[in-house]
């Protein structure tokens, strides 16, 4: 595979977005790169593909700007570029949460490294002996493609729904160590800070997200694949294109009551599961969290990458 794919982000104040947009577009165009770069007052989020030397040449150029000198990219490979165009877009947020008081630039959330997380999951507890609960902050259709074994998710359709859902169930995590995770880490940068603002403690983000975990640890404690927002659709724990049918990004069988309450749901270890209207709270608990619901087995699902479907970036 000859095409290098990178993703990177940094929360940093950008007051020259129009000028920066033009310079980024020119640099990427001159190097023949494909992908998307998002610019917002709070920072930069980029996804690029191209020949290895041109990608690394671009990153060398980007590092010359003091604001981006320490930005680090996560890498994976493919046989062809998974993007069709090169776009630099201006956004209100590089990851939309709609909670303006959450500013990762001022204070970064606590992190746990992939290796340390694996050690915790191997033992079933953290270094202090607390139970470890994995919380998936991604959208429902991403979770359906793959997640950590026994992870919990809220069945959200967009990240801006996360604050309300976690606030409603924060008491269920008392006395536990919570590790949030997402594709590359950007959503968890905000998620953990918001959880801290609610008074939640012992909350971490997986440093570098799922992709960095795959890179450093592999597929330990993981089931399925990881959705990516380009033509690869998903990658496996070896960071190779998964080439499998993807689940639909919506969950049309959710009942109105489920949508209203946003009750979180655990991801089963052996089979991908969907929320269905007939699902009801089970007696007892799941991972010690009694207010969470288990999902019944999935029915046949339509892929958003087939005709009639539409991919939706989390932000």
Alpha carbon 101 to its chain's center:
21
Alpha carbon 174 to its chain's center:
24
C-alpha 74/C-alpha 174 separation (Å) is 33
With contact defined as beta carbons under 8 Å apart, do 202 and 110 qualify? no
Q: Is residue 315 annotated as part of the catalytic site, yes or no?
A: no
Catalytic residue selected from 28, 182, 226, 315: 182
Sheet holding 86-90, edge to edge: 74-78, 3-11, 43-51, 34-40, 86-90
C-alpha 23/C-alpha 141 separation (Å) is 35
Q: What are phi and psi of 269, to 5 degrees?
A: -75, -30
C-alpha 227/C-alpha 156 separation (Å) is 15
Buried/exposed code over 15-31 (b: 16+ C-beta within 10 A; e: otherwise): eebeebbeebeebbeeb
Q: Which residues are known to be catalytic?
A: 182
């Amino acid at each position: 595979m000859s095409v290098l794919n990178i993703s990177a982000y940094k929360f940093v104040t950008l007051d020259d977005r129009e000028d920066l947009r033009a310079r980024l577009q020119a640099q990427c165009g001159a190097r023949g790169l494909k992908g998307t770069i998002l610019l917002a007052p709070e920072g930069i989020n980029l996804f690029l593909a191209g020949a290895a030397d041109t990608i690394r040449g671009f990153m060398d150029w980007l590092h010359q700007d003091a604001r981006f000198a320490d930005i680090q990219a996560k890498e994976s490979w493919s046989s062809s570029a998974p993007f069709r165009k090169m776009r630099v877009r201006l956004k209100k947020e590089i990851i939309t949460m709609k909670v303006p008081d959450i500013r990762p630039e001022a204070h970064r959330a606590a992190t746990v490294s992939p290796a340390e997380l694996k050690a915790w999951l191997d033992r079933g507890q953290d270094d202090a002996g607390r139970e470890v609960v994995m919380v998936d902050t991604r959208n429902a259709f991403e979770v359906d493609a793959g997640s950590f074994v026994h992870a919990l998710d809220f069945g959200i359709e967009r990240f801006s729904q996360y604050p309300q859902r976690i606030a409603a169930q924060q008491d269920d995590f008392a006395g536990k160590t919570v590790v949030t995770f997402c594709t590359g880490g950007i959503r968890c940068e905000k998620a953990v800070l918001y959880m801290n603002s609610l008074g939640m403690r012992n909350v971490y983000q997986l440093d570098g997200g799922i992709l960095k975990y795959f890179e450093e640890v592999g597929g330990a404690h993981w089931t399925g694949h990881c959705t990516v927002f380009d033509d690869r659709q998903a990658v496996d724990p070896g960071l190779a294109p998964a080439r499998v049918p993807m689940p639909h990004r919506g969950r049309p069988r959710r009942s109105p009551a489920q949508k209203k309450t946003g009750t979180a749901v655990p991801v089963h270890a052996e089979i991908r599961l969907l929320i269905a209207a007939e699902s009801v709270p089970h007696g007892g608990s799941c991972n010690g969290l009694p207010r969470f619901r288990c999902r019944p087995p999935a029915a046949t699902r339509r892929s958003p990458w087939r005709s009639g479907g539409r991919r939706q970036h989390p932000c």
